[in-house]
Amino acid sequence: MTPRSPSLLFVCLGNICRSPLAEGALRHAAQRHGLDLTLDPAGTGDWHVGQPPDPRAIAAARRNGVDISGLRARQVTADDFTRFDHLIALDRQNLADLRRLAPAGATARLSLLNDHVPGREGQGVADPYTGTAADFDQTWAEVTAAAAGLVRVLS
């Protein structure tokens, strides 16, 4: 029997900025390192369900050779807590929300994305939603650093 590939769900508030960027950064890093992972982004809120990532997020990823335009926002579900090995929040409020939403029998490990970056443990990734293209580029840099840390752990 072949072991199942590790599965990670990235969680932010609206699922159109940080979590799609995190999914794209880890997908890109995993491909470069030959890792087989199951990845998805989701939000704790439902405002953007069904929508593509913010155009500024798409542009930031594209500038770095990654296409996230096919992703669509969705909200975290109770099933996610057993379907995924890891639910990785992009900030402390979303981590607290995940802890509150976790159903009895949840098996996924909860963490902050920056817990996987030496020296950044416990810190959230700034939300670029109300910012400029430069803020989205900064978010891309942060999620890329975390993706490198996750690749080290998952390899």
Domain containing 14 — which CATH number? Answer: 3.40.50.2300
Q: Answer yes or no: is pLDDT of 102 > 80.
A: yes
Q: Span 23-42, mean pLDDT?
A: 97
Residue 128 lies in a domain: yes
Q: Answer yes or no: is pLDDT of 1 > 60.
A: no
Residue with tokens 């096919």: 70
Residue 153 lies in a domain: no
Residue of 134, 126, 113, 125 whose CA lies nearest to 56 = 134
CA–CA gap between residue 43 and residue 16 (Å, rounded): 8
Q: Span 82-95, mean pLDDT?
A: 98
From residue 43, how far is each of 1, 46, 93, 151 by CA, in Å? 33, 7, 12, 23
Residue 61 lies in a domain: yes
CA–CA gap between residue 29 and residue 116 (Å, rounded): 14
**Helix 55-63 with 133-154: angle, nearest 10 deg:** 60
Q: Span 103-123, mean pLDDT?
A: 96
Separation of CA 155 from chain center: 18
Active-site choice (40, 80, 97, 127)? 127
Note whether 116 and 90 are within 8 A (CB): no
pTM: 0.96
| Containing structural domain, residue 141 | 7-148
Tally the domains of the chain: 1
Active-site choice (4, 17, 18, 32)? 18
Residue 155 lies in a domain: no
Q: What is the pLDDT of residue 29?
A: 97
Cα within 13 Å of Cα(90), Cβ side: 29
17 in catalytic set: no
Mean pLDDT, the chain, whole residue set: 96
Q: Are strands 7-12 and 109-112 parallel, antiparallel or unpaired?
A: unpaired
Strands of 86-89's sheet in order across: 38-43, 7-12, 86-89, 109-112
Q: What is the pLDDT of residue 4?
A: 76
Residue 1 lies in a domain: no
More confidently predicted of 155 and 132: 132
127 in catalytic set: yes
Active-site choice (12, 17, 56, 74)? 12
